Structure 1
Amino acid sequence: MYRYRTTKSATESQRFTISQVPIEFHRINNVNLRNQFYKELDRHTHKLITLYRDKATKTGKIAEDLAKLMRIYDLQEQRDVNMRRALVLRALPVYLREDASKFFRTCNSANGPDLTDTPVALLTVVTDDTTDATLFSPESICIVVEDEILVSGPTNLADSFLLLFGYIYALDLKYPKNLELTFTFIQKVVMCLEDNKPLKGRLLTLKNDLFNE
């Protein structure tokens, strides 16, 4: 199960290639990283989006942020499974009232990113003519570990997210600061990896909402 230890250097991180991360994850947890992630994420997608939409009709900053994400999503002409998955993952920390600004990062491809104090993150590369749709269909996503780009190029946000989750286990990294609820949800509800610690507060409420009809 997940152990909260200090991060390792990005140089040491490179000993795991993209193809080796799922193998190491399976060795640690006896779980197929990709199959489990998408099976449970897709299982809960419809209910999660329903919860997001309901919350977006309320008042307050969280509702406004969710409403903005839903508007961008609804304006897309083609909303395929990858876009739905991206919406679920981008909106999850908002719904859980966590600050994902240092995890979901963006940079202009011409300027390059400032990755100072970035333990782990997903960095979307944008251009001057980037539209709001980039939230769900980015041109390029980089996986950042300890201020350095570890993997560059995937354009599928969900694939990048699950790969980073695999790296967290393979390298025994800490969950991103301010996103412990989000990653604990992925760990326990999506990946079904228990640590014998009960869910409390917002996480327990969300889990109950998902499993109770």
Structure 2
Amino acid sequence: MGRLDVSVNGGKRGRHTPDGDHPSKDLKRPKKGELNFLPDYPEGMAGHNLEGARQLLVQEMMKAKPDALLVKKEMDVTFALRRQEVVNEKPAINLMLQRWPALFTESQVYQEFGRVVGTNLRESFFGSLDSYSASLVELFRKKKGLTGQLLAALLHQTKSSEPTDIRCLCLRGLPIILGDDPSEFFKTSCDAADTAYSQIPVGILIQDETSPLNPSRVGIILEGNVAMDGLPNLPQAFCVLFGLIYALHLDYPKCMKHTFNFVQQVMLKLGKSQLSPKIQTLKNQLAE
């Protein structure tokens, strides 16, 4: 964070500014362990310079094969401009798709997460998920009652012990064991134009109904729009979606808040160390 962070939070009510906004109103502060929440512009560059770089990016992304090195370079340069837009203006996803199309590519989602958090998302996410998978599957098998029945159905659908299948099982079972409601998060549709998810703020679109637990084609829903399409499997889509939430400064979906907080706090070890009772209980069970 830099001087921009100070300026956007200026004018809050205090001893010398009794007529300012309430100190907690729209406060621009990192909440999920972001290291570069609102960085300053690169030294010697102003908004108009960065806007030119942004337009160059848009033109490059219109090509059939964009230059990956050029895209990365300009995305690095325009990071502060993008964060100012995302944090201060909270633009609609449709507008972000137009202004920053490179941000909605898998490689740049991972790069942006690195810029914001300073962590390799893909490596950390899958490394942690794989380290917990055996304990999670064992816990799924032990659960009784309605939760146990739902988990047993997932276990029955798991066709092999291949890493992707086990990752799918864990990611589908996590919200059940944490008491979330994944029915409004995982949506199934054969048609990317389907309106069944138009009211979904954040979700994953399963586009291959032949294998709903481990689909071979998955999309990402943001604000009722398919923001990314054709991802090869559910774990990959979940990881990319987590990165997009950071890149676009989005809230976690309410129906999956425990699951996303588990990923953030336990799997990736980001943000505050104090865990909610449900997450602490699961963490303790996985450590047994």
TM over 0.5: yes
Higher relative contact order (CA 8 A, sep 6+): 1
The answer on 1:70 being equivalent to 2:155 is yes
1: distance between equivalents of 2:96 and 2:137? 34
Q: TM-score, normalised by structure 1?
A: 0.86
- Within 5 Å, give how 1:138-177 maps onto structure 2: 138-177=215-254
- Point out the structure with max Rg over C-alpha: 2
Q: How far has the Cα of 1:195 moved from its partner?
A: 2.4
Q: What whole-Å deviation, never above 9, does each CA across 1:165-201 have from its counterpart, x for those lacking one? A: 00000000010122111000000111110225x1122
| Total equivalences in the alignment | 199
Q: What whole-Å deviation, never above 9, does each CA across 1:47-91 have from its counterpart, x for those lacking one? A: 011111111xx22x2121111111111xx2x33101100100011
Query: 1:71 is matched by which residue type in structure 2?
Result: H
Structure 2 residues without counterparts, runs of 5 or longer:
1-29, 33-86
- Within 5 Å, give how 1:26-175 maps onto structure 2: 26-55=114-143, 58-59=144-145, 61-73=146-158, 76=159, 78-109=160-191, 112-127=194-209, 130=210, 134-175=211-252
1: distance between equivalents of 2:192 and 2:93? 23
The answer on 1:11 being equivalent to 2:87 is no
Instruction: Give the root-mean-square deviation of aligned CA atoms.
Output: 2.0
2: distance between equivalents of 1:99 and 1:52? 17
Q: What whole-Å deviation, never above 9, does each CA across 1:135-192 have from its counterpart, x for those lacking one? A: 3321311101101001100121111000000000000001012211100000011111
Q: How far has the Cα of 1:104 moved from its partner?
A: 0.6
Name whichever structure is richer in helix by fraction.
2
Q: Is the 8 A contact 1:7 1:146 kept in 2?
A: no
Q: Secondary structure at the match of 2:255?
A: coil
Q: Is the 8 A contact 1:137 1:155 kept in 2?
A: no
1: distance between equivalents of 2:233 and 2:31? 25
Q: TM-score, normalised by structure 2?
A: 0.65
2: distance between equivalents of 1:208 and 1:110? 40
